[in-house]
């Protein structure tokens, strides 16, 4: 049976490598749509949790996971020899930046080398990890050659950028249109056939480089526009104009405008990172990326602006410096109503407050404990306060960094201290603003 027929009839076995915010929703969705799926990850704790029917991703409730597991269509493992039985392999591993803010493809290259050791002939390999144009063709393919199998005859490669949006209740993995491209006509047709069996709409483009560029463009668009409103916030603050009212007013225009909102910095895996991937790649072509780099500078500076304004507010309200202050940080997830902490600006705020000598506590109903990960350093395993803890404590300032709906914002106003609001959370809930400072 040909590979295209195996995929089209959903008798293909699918391997999804990297069971995080992208891989697990994709694996479960593919299983729900009728494919047999093996999820692979190097984190044994994740596999044990999945085997117990417990999800760690908001987008995949326990019941969805348990249903596909009970049906025999999904299972997790750390055993990469299982790749030999897969007809389709999808790579969903992280693509972070290194300490110099340059692309770090270590997870991609290590994964590709693992695949090469175990892959069988007639297999489609798809990269979903966000990266710069050329990665699939110039980095993934040469590593797969180490298998001894022939590209475009035994192994076919494709790229399909992930478009996950944690917390989005309107769109999910199955309903977000999927960009697809293959290295060559056969690979493109195979990838298109696979995703048509998983999602509602597939948009095929000509080359993997184009597909990679589409994802980067989407995130650069957001990063640049968020930087613009962050800069406008500083300008309008100086003019005593409320940026939030400006944006809401401009958003009433039914054409030619799209609202973006300021904040304490950028979070999530994509927007704070992906623009730097394109800027780095552009340098190899001697092409400057002024907008991208300027946007990065503005967005990176926002946590420092929040701390500076907090220092000013404390000085005016109680004559205290940050080194004598007790500060409550509201929200450590990077966006509202999710537990996702990737690149959260709240962690930078916590670090800056700590370095200034402040005593910092946080409350976040979605993150009861900061995960024990190296990225969070000394803050790993720090516990969230409860609402009662907050009521019983004394604070000199409250900083709203993430506007979760579950927070009792009215209660924050009873703490007898200024509230520094980076998200316009208080005004949007029609609460008294006499103690609120919009930052």
Q: Could you list the active site residues?
A: 270
Cβ neighbourhood burial of 101 (10 Å; 0-12, 13-18, 19+): middle
Q: Are strands 155-159 and 178-182 parallel, antiparallel or unpaired?
A: antiparallel
Instruction: Kindly tell me the sign of the dihedral angle through the C-alpha atoms of 416, 418, 422, 423.
Output: positive
Q: How far apart, in Å, are the Cα atoms of 273 and each of 153, 292, 315, 400?
A: 35, 11, 35, 24
């Amino acid at each position: 049976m040909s590979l295209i027929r195996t995929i089209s009839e959903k008798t293909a076995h699918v391997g999804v490598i990297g069971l995080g915010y992208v891989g697990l929703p994709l694996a479960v969705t593919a299983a729900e749509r009728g494919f047999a799926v093996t999820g692979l990850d190097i984190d044994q704790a994740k596999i044990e949790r999945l085997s117990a029917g417990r999800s760690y991703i908001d987008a995949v409730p326990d019941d969805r996971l348990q249903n596909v597991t009970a049906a025999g269509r999904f299972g997790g493992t750390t055993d990469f020899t299982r790749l030999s039985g897969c007809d389709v392999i999808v790579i969903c591993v992280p693509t972070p930046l290194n300490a110099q803010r340059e692309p770090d493809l270590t997870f991609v290259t290590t994964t590709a080398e693992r695949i090469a050791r175990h892959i069988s002939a007639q297999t489609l390999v798809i990269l979903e990890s966000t990266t710069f144009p050329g990665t699939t063709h110039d980095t993934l393919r040469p590593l797969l050659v180490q298998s001894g199998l022939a590209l475009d005859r035994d192994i076919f490669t494709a790229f399909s950028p992930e478009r996950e949006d944690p917390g989005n209740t309107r769109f999910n993995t199955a309903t977000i249109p999927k960009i697809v491209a293959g290295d060559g006509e056969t690979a493109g047709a195979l990838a298109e056939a696979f995703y048509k069996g998983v999602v509602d709409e597939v948009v095929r483009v000509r080359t993997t480089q184009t597909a990679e560029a589409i994802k980067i463009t989407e995130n650069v668009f957001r990063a640049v526009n968020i930087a613009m409103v962050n800069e406008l916030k500083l300008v309008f603050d100086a003019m005593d104009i409320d940026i939030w009212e400006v944006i809401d007013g401009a958003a009433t225009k039914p054409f030619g405008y799209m609202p973006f909102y300021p904040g304490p910095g950028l979070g999530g895996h994509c927007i704070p990172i992906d623009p730097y991937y394109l800027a780095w790649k552009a340098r190899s072509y001697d092409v400057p990326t002024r907008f991208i780099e300027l946007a990065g500078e503005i967005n990176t500076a926002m946590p420092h602006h929040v701390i500076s304004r907090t220092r000013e507010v404390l000085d005016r309200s109680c004559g205290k410096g940050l080194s004598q202050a007790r500060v409550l940080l509201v929200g450590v997830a990077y966006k509202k109503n999710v537990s996702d902490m990737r690149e959260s600006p709240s962690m930078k705020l916590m670090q800056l407050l700590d370095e200034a000598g402040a005593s910092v506590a946080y409350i976040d109903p979605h993150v009861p404990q900061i995960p024990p990960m190296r990225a969070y350093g000394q803050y790993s395993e720090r516990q969230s306060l409860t609402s009662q803890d907050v009521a019983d404590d004394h604070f000199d300032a409250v900083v709203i960094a993430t506007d979760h709906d579950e927070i009792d914002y009215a209660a924050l106003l009873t703490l007898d201290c200024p509230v520094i609001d980076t998200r316009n959370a208080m005004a949007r809930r029609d609460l008294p603003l006499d103690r609120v400072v919009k930052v």
